[in-house]
A and B are shown apart, each in its own frame.
Chain A
Amino acid sequence: MSEAGLADLVGVTISVITNDGRNIVGTLKGYDQATNVILDDCHERVYSTKTGVEQLVLGLYVIRGDNIAVVGEVDDELDSQIDLGQISAAPLKPLAH
């Protein structure tokens, strides 16, 4: 990884955790210094304690930086080994300042 910033993640699958606790996974198309992010072919992973993870197709999204907590680089090989349907967990809490 280069110095700070998201330059080396462009074109890569990333997982964004938003301030309200949602998890959105897609391909990083662009970003800026405010951490605004453009995600292509993205989907939301909805966690619940009752069923496995549900995936909702979203398409092309622009997420405002103010609303972003974490941007993670998805290891595609690790990700393909995970059976999301079998994973059940409480959704992440929203940020509390």
Chain B
Amino acid sequence: MLFYSYFKTLKGKEVTVELKNDLAITGTMHSVDQYLNIKLNNTRVVNEQKYPHMMSVRNCFIRGSVVRYVQLPPGSVDTEILHDATRREARGG
């Protein structure tokens, strides 16, 4: 649940989600759920020339299972806090 909580803090931020089919979608993080499915608003596909498949899509739902990377805005992650939290979770509480 830790990364679910972390992704929730990114709401409203601009992220780029790279999928396992090499498609990369940039948009504003709208919401995330327990499966790490991500909803983006105001989306654009990176390299639209090569990938015109989503030209008429401006809001989308990305299934968590197909996400390869989430590229974060600079400064949006406090690694110290995340380190501590992951260690705490690994110890079981």
Contact = CB atoms under 8 A, between A and B. Distances in A.
A72 B59 contact: yes
B68 to A, nearest CB: 9
Most chain A beta-carbon neighbours within 10 Å: one of B51, B54, B60: B60
Interface residues of B, number: 30
B62 interface: yes
B50 A89 contact: yes
Interface in A29-87: 35, 45, 47, 65-66, 68-76, 78-79, 82, 87
Contact of B63 (A69, A78, A97): A69
Contacts of A35: 37, 63
B41 interface: yes
A23 B41 CA distance: 20
Interface residues of A, number: 37
Interface in B19-70: 19-23, 25, 30-33, 37, 39, 41, 43, 50-63, 65-66
B53 A97 contact: no
Contact of A70 (B19, B31, B33): B19
A68 B63 contact: yes
A69 B19 contact: yes
Given A89-B50, A92-B23, A72 B55 contact: no
A70 B55 contact: no
Contact of A23 (B32, B33, B53, B59): B53
Contact of A19 (B51, B60, B66): B66
Interface string A1-34: 1011110010000010101010100000000000
Interface of B: 19-23, 25, 30-33, 37, 39, 41, 43, 50-63, 65-66
5 contacts: A6-B61, A15-B53, A35-B63, A73-B57, A95-B66
